[in-house]
Amino acid sequence: MKVGLHPLLNDPHIDARQTSSQRQLSMAIRAIAQTSDQANLPLNLCLVLDHSGSMNGTPLKTVKQAALSLIDRLKPRDQISVIAFDHRAKVLVANQPVEDVAAIKARIDRLGPDGGTAIDEGMKLGIEETAKGKQDRTSQIFLLTDGENEHGDNDRCLKLAKLASEYNITLNALGFGAHWNQDVLEAIADQASGTLAYIESPEQAGSEFDRLFTRAQSVGLTNAYLSLELSPGVRLAELKPIAQVAPETVELTVQQEGNTYGVRLGDLMSVERIVLANLYIHQLPPGNAAIATVQVRYDDPATGQTGLLSEQVPVYAEVQAAYQPQPEPTVQKSILALAKYRQTQIAETKLLQGDRLGAATMLQTAAKTALQLGDDSGATVLQKSATQLQAGEELSESDRKKTRIVSKTILQE
């Protein structure tokens, strides 16, 4: 496997007369298979399933069916483990090769509803089991819950998510129904380079599990870090300078060493991860100017090699005495995706503060941004929430969760 790395400025032309210019640098990163044999890495999958009393009936039945269908898609070279949690946690299936499929499925099928909810207990056992099968595989945890962490500690959940990322384990969070904490599950997924999924109704469980499984299968390289070295006279914006905008929007934590800035990406898939950096460029003389250099450090589980480096890709701008703008449409789309997310975040903050009208206005702004982006479904959800607030209605838990999901990504119907 190799890394595809493609940096692009939102406008590669810079006005030589300006004392300072702002530019957005988009960096598209993905894993590229050099042969057909490299298409699929062995998978080390752990299912961490909430079986608390509130999952009784159809919810638990459909989740078990979704889990069983995933087992059927695994190959003998893959590893599987299953954790069940209520207010405690237990290992349902210890980490093992996918060989005795009938026995694995029987243990899942026997799972019944019981007790309360302690997400951190499930996460702890999930990380322990997943760590046993990491060697030369891509490691993924699917964490599903339908409730608040009533018997657990949310801060501990975030510490465990950080531990998962340090172990090179991707943690995906699936919220089932209307009563889970979207802030906690989003933070878990963001911290561990995973994705947040919303299962609004039981019949959607299978499709959401399948979507995450397909994504896990597309992973080619792991433990990736993006390094951005800025040229003299170029600096990052001070507030939220780097964010991922695809396949979902995530504010990234930046680590600085001199004039080099790094962010952790986690897995690299055949689908592009797009990262956006907000740059300020001091006045430069006319001519071709070096702006930055980008590089990716990564692991290749297929070969057992770690700390590999992609090629260094330079970023140039043309500084013009007679400035002629040359906007790049693909980067503009990334800018709009980030704006949609941040506008929705502001709306949520205003709503928490009791400013319903302010929240409605920001949601309308986010809906307009979604339309500019071509995200018609997202615009519909955001406008619906704005209209409800303007009419003096409360947003349901389902509305709030769908609003959060569409802020982060393009809504899949």
pLDDT the model gives residue 34: 78
- SS3 assignment, position 223: strand
Q: CA–CA separation, 8 vs 27, rounded Å?
A: 6
Domain covering 38-219 assigned CATH 3.40.50.410 in the classification? yes
Residues in the chain, pLDDT under 70: 36-39, 411-413
pLDDT of residue 40: 75
Residue 126, amino acid: G
Q: What is the pLDDT of residue 413?
A: 42
Using left for φ > 0, alpha for ψ between -120 and 50, and beta otherwise, residue 392 falls in left
pLDDT at position 301 is: 93
Protein fold of 2-37+221-329? Immunoglobulin-like (2.60.40)
- Rounded CA-CA distance 370/377 in Å is 8
Q: Which two tokens stand for residue 383?
A: 């406008």
**Domain range annotation of the chain:** 2-37+221-329, 38-219, 332-408
What the block records as the tokens of 232 is 């003299």
Q: Give per-residue pLDDT as tens, 183-230.
A: 999 999 999 999 999 999 999 999 999 999 999 999 999 999 999 999
Phi-psi region of 116 (alpha: psi -120 to 50; beta: other; left: phi over 0): beta
How far CA 275 is from CA of 135, 247, 289, 389, 409, in Å, comes to: 28, 10, 22, 33, 14
